[in-house]
Amino acid sequence: MTGPPLHSDSSTLSRSEQRKIGTWLPLVVLGAGLLVTLILWRQERGIAFQNLQDDFNFQSRLDIEQIKHHLEAQEQLLRGVQGLFNALEQVGRSEFHAYLSPLKLESAYPGLQGISYASIVPAAHKKTHIATTRKQGFPDYTIHPAGERDSYTPVIYLEPFSGRNVRVLGYDTFTEPVRRAAMEKARDTGEATLSEKVTLRQENSQSAQTGLLMFMPVYRHGLPRNTTSERRTAINGWVAGSFRMDDLIAGIFRERTQSMRISIHDGETPSEENLLYASPLTLSPASSPFSLQKTTSINIAGRTWAITIRPPAGFGTGSGADKPQLVASGGIVLSLLLALFTWQMTTSRSRALETARSMNRELIESETRYRQMFDGNTSITYLVDPDDGRIIDANEAAAAFWGYSLDELRTMRITDINIASLEVLQNMWKSITSHGNYINEWRHKLKSGEIRCVEIFGGPLSFQNKTLLFFITHDITERKQAEQALAVKQQQLEELNASLEERVSRAVDELRRKDKILIQQNRQAAMGEMINNIAHQWRQPLNSLGLVIQNTRYEYDAGLLTPDQMALDMKLGMELIQFMSQTIDDFRTFFREDKEIKRFSIAESISRAITLLEGSLMSHGISITTEQEEDLLIDGYPNEYAQALLNLLINARDALLEQEVEHPEIKLRFSREEDYAVVSIADNAGGIPVDFIEQIFDPYFTTKKQEKGTGIGLYMSKMIIEKHMGGSLKVTNLEGGAEFRIKNRLPAEV
């Protein structure tokens, strides 16, 4: 019995069989190649997508944390202002300005339009409140919108008080439903409350942005506030911060704003009605082949925001996002080639042998390309056997990071690197094997002994009928350190805010005490000067009064004193006495302390100062001339301003007397320079020595003899003009003498 030969030559096949084999076998090879290509493409696409997703998630978390941190800083600022009201029994406009002005709100808190304080005014006190505010230098002040209500909540303080912020003064915030809802919630909870979107009072129709307000309640001193009812009874007003959303986002992200694709909605569910902000590129198509988007909800001051972020233009470029396309293209081309080679093998023995050799070369090259792709990956990449934790393979990036050679790694277990227990790692391996992709943070120990924080992305990989675990690892040590540093800074900020009230109170008390001491010293130093000026002012009217009395006696003795003559002498005597009484009133009023900022005439202040010193100047032969372009009004303290002028005039007089100038004169000129009122006082006493001109305004510095000067006058003048009234006082030497220039900003409506 003979059987078929073990090997049969293809020549024994019929032509029809050869044609059939030549038809379907290449198609089978092509289908198998495309199937393998599809599997590899899906795998590479998943890895590329995961890498992009991880990078995008990390950047998105940083962006959201920036927004949250910025708004929390605004809340801490409001708590600081609330602490000012809690620390002081009465907070006036000057204390409010003195606290907020050094903080440089516009540069330090981008997007913040201003910090305001709205106080509750009962209807019975409305007229008194308006009258008092107008006397403080706001003659057009009123509460708006108009109407009769049981109580009013006008904005009475606002910083910075300039530009569009001026429109808010007097606005009754409780009349608008959105603002009122946020204010009531802040009052009842005692916490900072963010409003829904509003149109700010500062806006105009041409450039209006979406606005927000954050309210912080201020309660009356000494009243309990443990329950909602008690807090409603104790409420005294609200501190509020106003924001413009476009400016807020631009201030947080700066130059990145133009390339971002971010939208912010009020509430947990985004909708067109509750949109707060949308960047210009929000609706533009994504350049990445993957559709990435992250929507996260954050809670700020009792309000929830939904923040949606999409990748910016160019995101993922150069990060391997195009690798799946390369795998697909290469796989399709290789499948077509294999099909062609198969067709050739089925049609020709020689060509089949050549095709086999060519395919062998292609397979070797394919394995080489795989090895190059694995080794050339810049991310830390390695394969692990889940049965025993052995490291099957790793790339150069892994070897460089861990500090081992590739040969060493291929003999090690992952438990030699990951410091977690074997039991924990085995549970993780089982989870990946059964559920697929995995992401988590671990700690790796390098060969040097250093511990680094890493983020691991893992997934199963089938190889030669065995499941291996494929891992990509990123070093996140610096990111974790940054997060810890941020947490420490946040804790330090909270501790600083906790002690802020006490420190503010002590600083304010100390500044007040020093100011009072300096002002008192200046007034005491000027008191002797004023007594001397009174003597000069009274000398002439006293002489005239003596002549009137002598003349009356003479007329009486001569029998010439008629009733009409007696009435004339009495009238003249009373006029002289009234002049002397008015002189006393002028000097007494000069030393009266200003309590509130007022709008006053510069010409009147100059006239008062000259009147008080006129007698002394005349007695020493000093001429004074005044040049005036127009009368100007400024906001400030009129008595203190007049005192500063008097100090400068006395300084000029003393310099002229000390230098014994032959024709002593003082020239006083005031005029408008753009938006400023400028007053200059010049003399012809030869000027100030160059060595002393930088020290002339220092406290207790004087060039006069010890018995003739205290060094307080010029220092107090500079403090009054610059610290109390926000102006400037400078001195320069001109030809023949010195010139002092006082410069104050004019009110907006002047």
Write the CB contacts of 583 (distance below 8 Å, at least 6 apart in sequence): 534, 537, 538
Q: Name the H helices within 88-125.
A: 93-100, 105-108
Instruction: Answer whether residue 706 shows pLDDT above 70.
Output: no
pLDDT (tens digit per residue) in 379-393: 888 889 988 989 988
Q: Tell the burial category of 669 from Cβ atoms under 10 Å away from its Cβ (0-12, 13-18, 19+).
A: middle
Instruction: Answer whether residue 342 shows pLDDT above 60.
Output: yes
In angstroms, the CA 608 to CA 588 distance is: 12
The one-letter amino acid at 157: Y
Instruction: Answer whether residue 481 shows pLDDT above 90.
Output: no
pLDDT (tens digit per residue) in 635-661: 988 888 888 888 888 888 888 888 888
Domains of the chain by start residue, with CATH: 88-259 (3.30.450.350), 379-475 (3.30.450.20), 504-745 (3.30.565.10)
How does 185-211 read in b/e, with b if 16+ C-beta sit within 10 Å? bbbbebebbbbbbbebbbbeeeeebbb
Higher pLDDT residue, 577 or 636? 636
The predicted structure's pLDDT at residue 94 = 87
Closest CA to 586 of 651, 659, 529, 537: 537
The predicted structure's pLDDT at residue 101 = 86
Least confident of 434-443, 515-524, 709-718: 515-524
Span 686-703, average pLDDT: 79
CA 450 to chain centre: 39
Location of structure tokens 């002498």: 569
What Å distances lie between residue 15 and 441, 596, 683, CA to CA?
A: 64, 116, 126
Provide the β-strand partners of residue 634.
Answer: 600
Closest CA to 384 of 442, 335, 315, 330: 442
Span 555-562, average pLDDT: 79
Average pLDDT, the chain: 79
User: For the residues of 582-644, what is the DSSP string, one character each?
Assistant: HHHHHHHHHTSPP-S-EEEEHHHHHHHHHHHHHHHHHHTT-EEEEEES---EEEE-HHHHHHH
Angle among Cα 726, 728, 732 to the nearest 5 degrees reads 175
Q: What percent of the chain has pLDDT over 90?
A: 19
Instruction: Answer whether residue 195 shows pLDDT above 70.
Output: yes
Write the CB contacts of 294 (distance below 8 Å, at least 6 apart in sequence): 56, 57, 60, 308, 309, 310
pLDDT (tens digit per residue) in 210-236: 889 999 999 998 899 899 999 999 999
How does 324-333 read in b/e, with b if 16+ C-beta sit within 10 Å? beebbeebbe
Contact 386, 469 (CB under 8 A): yes
The predicted structure's pLDDT at residue 604 = 87
Write the CB contacts of 195 (distance below 8 Å, at least 6 apart in sequence): 178, 179, 181, 182, 212, 213, 214, 215, 303
Neighbours of 351 (CB within 10 A): 15
Whole-model pTM: value is: 0.41
Q: In this structure, what token pair is assigned to residue 135?
A: 């006397």
Closest CA to 231 of 189, 279, 196, 169: 189
Instruction: Answer whether residue 276 shows pLDDT above 60.
Output: yes
The predicted structure's pLDDT at residue 731 = 92
